[in-house]
Amino acid sequence: MLAVRKRSCITLILSGLVVFPLACEPQRQGRNTDTNRTPITFGFIGDLSGPTFNFGESAKNGVLMAADEINQSGGINGRRIDIIFEDDQGGPEKSAILAGKLIDQDKVVALVVAGASGNSLAAGPKAQSARIPMISPSSTNPAVTQVGDYIFRACFIDAFQGGVMAKFAADTLKARKAAILLDFNSPYSRGLTDYFELGFTKLGGQVVNKQSYMQGDADYKGQLSAIKAAEPDVLYIPGYYGDVAIIARQARQLGLTQPLLGGDGWDAPELWELGGDALNGSFISNHYSVEDPSPAIQRFVHDYKLLYGNLTPDAHAALAYDAMRFLAAAIERGGTTEGPKLRDALAQTKGFAGITGTITIDSDRNAVKPSVVLKLEDGKYIYQETIQPEAVTDAAVPFSSPSPVTRKRARR
């Protein structure tokens, strides 16, 4: 059962269940030997009611599930996890305010800031100045971790993700001409655009038309008409699901039949509800595939569905789950929640096997890990291929665990 404290602070006290191991790393050095058994409090910031609310809800679910399992297995060095959840409503300014509140008033030991890169960029300076580690599960813009040495992420960055889709377009789809429709005000969308264009042209392709829009626009027909006239082989739309679904419908209405390409910002159930059949034949880069036969991934999907009313865990849920667990593993390994020492333990993470791939933190505090390409067809994300970072040759091997856990459904 999940018990809800004041200020949306969740105390997770489920017992008697078999759970995943805390991490794949064999080291148990630095375990806390003091008698402190007070809860360890983390802060979570995400969009729970704004334009990308699905991202925030999924991330919240993933964090809760991970914390649930950690508490069931005895906590972190014998200390239970508490989490204070805050809703930034998709606004960077509010994200910054909430980061300050969680650090100054609630005295959290670390922040998990989910969702859009712009919100993580706003919260980062607060964490950096307070020397409180912050992890973004899913903000892929490279600038996020450049805020300072206390800022980490559990996902790959746009330089890799944009290049993945450029490589897929050129090598797999044999595209030679591409058009781009980007959200000009979004750091996420602009970053993916730059890296896709760079990668595609390096592979011999040509960007024949580039158009822009603003999040929440209702009419994209002018931009799409110009793109149609350029006769591209593919159309790259590095945006978020709410806009992408409308763009897809209008593109098909105008007779654009080319494959639509995108990134992890498309991954939400609402995409299909809004876009329908217009999305068929599209391709996206993403962090993992629910079709992966790995026992660990299938257990994760199984348990998540049991916990959240048969919902399929999207990438934001899986990334947040991984972020929570590798943060907990760093505390356990370092034996402390002190900001500087926890920062050092996070920076030393190597080969942490998560659901979304094996996480190794590089010198810029980014997660070096693979990407998958998925095809959209009839409401499903169908696995196509895995593309590894150039420096990584071994396939990701998620951690193994005991038999699937029978779980009770969580209160939403």
Contact 339, 150 (CB under 8 A): yes
The pLDDT value given to residue 181: 98
**Angstrom distance (rounded) from CA 220 to CA 235:** 14
> CA nearest 353: which of 337, 340, 370?
370
Tokens matching residue 66: 């991970």
Amino acid sitting at position 398: P
Rg (CA), the chain: 21
Helices (H), ranges, 134-240: 158-167, 187-202, 221-230
Amino acid sitting at position 38: T
Helices (H), ranges, 73-211: 92-104, 117-130, 158-167, 187-202
C-beta atoms surrounding 14 within 10 Å: 17
Contact 99, 346 (CB under 8 A): no
**Angstrom distance (rounded) from CA 161 to CA 184:** 18
Q: Looking at residue 76, what DSSP letter applies?
A: B
Provide the residue-wise pLDDT of the chain in tens; the chain has 412 residues.
Answer: 333 333 444 434 333 333 444 433 333 334 444 467 899 999 999 999 999 999 999 999 999 999 999 999 999 999 999 999 999 999 999 999 999 999 999 999 999 999 888 999 999 999 999 999 999 999 988 999 999 999 999 999 989 999 999 999 999 999 999 999 999 999 889 999 999 999 999 999 999 999 999 999 999 999 999 999 999 999 999 999 999 999 999 999 999 999 999 999 999 888 999 999 999 999 999 999 999 999 999 999 999 999 999 999 999 999 999 999 999 999 999 999 999 999 999 999 999 999 999 899 999 999 999 899 999 999 999 999 988 887 433 333 222 222 223 333 333 3
Contact 332, 248 (CB under 8 A): no
Tokens matching residue 95: 């994200």
Residue 152 burial (C-beta neighbours within 10 Å; 0-12, 13-18, 19+): buried
C-beta atoms surrounding 283 within 10 Å: 24
The pLDDT value given to residue 30: 40
Stated as kind and residue range, the H or E segment containing 352 is: strand 352-354
C-beta atoms surrounding 380 within 10 Å: 14
Helices (H), ranges, 204-314: 221-230, 241-253, 269-275, 295-307
The pLDDT value given to residue 35: 61
